[in-house]
Amino acid sequence: MSEDLPTHLLFSYGTLQQPEVQLDTFGRLLEGDDDALPGYTVDYAEIEDTRVVDLSGQSVHPIVRHTGNPLDKIVGRALRVTEDELDAADEYEVSLYRRISVVLASGRSAWVYVAA
């Protein structure tokens, strides 16, 4: 991974918070803060990629969908990542997900993976 300083926030509500997933995907444990994503709700998706299932230990992963309802929110962590680590996260996430930019409850901008 790049030795660049983390300049992006990646909001994680699922397996990217797991230490074993972080070590395999990024080569390090990520620092971050608790935060929330308003206007979204959690659903669940069956994962067929055996590498992702083996790494996470789960064949069903959470996936978020936009509702626009300010009462809906997803609790998670805003992880500090580099540009190279964002690319690594893109490779980890299966085609059921797409990365978008959002504003978290804290007011900070972050990337998050939502239903494709």
* Domains of the chain with CATH codes: 8-115 (3.10.490.10)
Residues in the chain: 116
Q: Read off the pLDDT of residues 69-112 as tens digits, 9 standing for 90 and up.
A: 989 999 999 999 999 999 999 999 888 899 999 999 999 999 99
Interhelix angle 19-26/83-92, nearest 10 degrees:
110
Cα-flanking dihedrals φ and ψ of residue 37, to 5°? -115, 105
CB atoms within 10 A of CB 78: 26
Percent of the chain with pLDDT over 70: 97
pTM assigned to the model: 0.89
B/e letters for 37-52, b = 16+ CB within 10 Å, e = fewer, are: bbbbebeeeebeeeeb
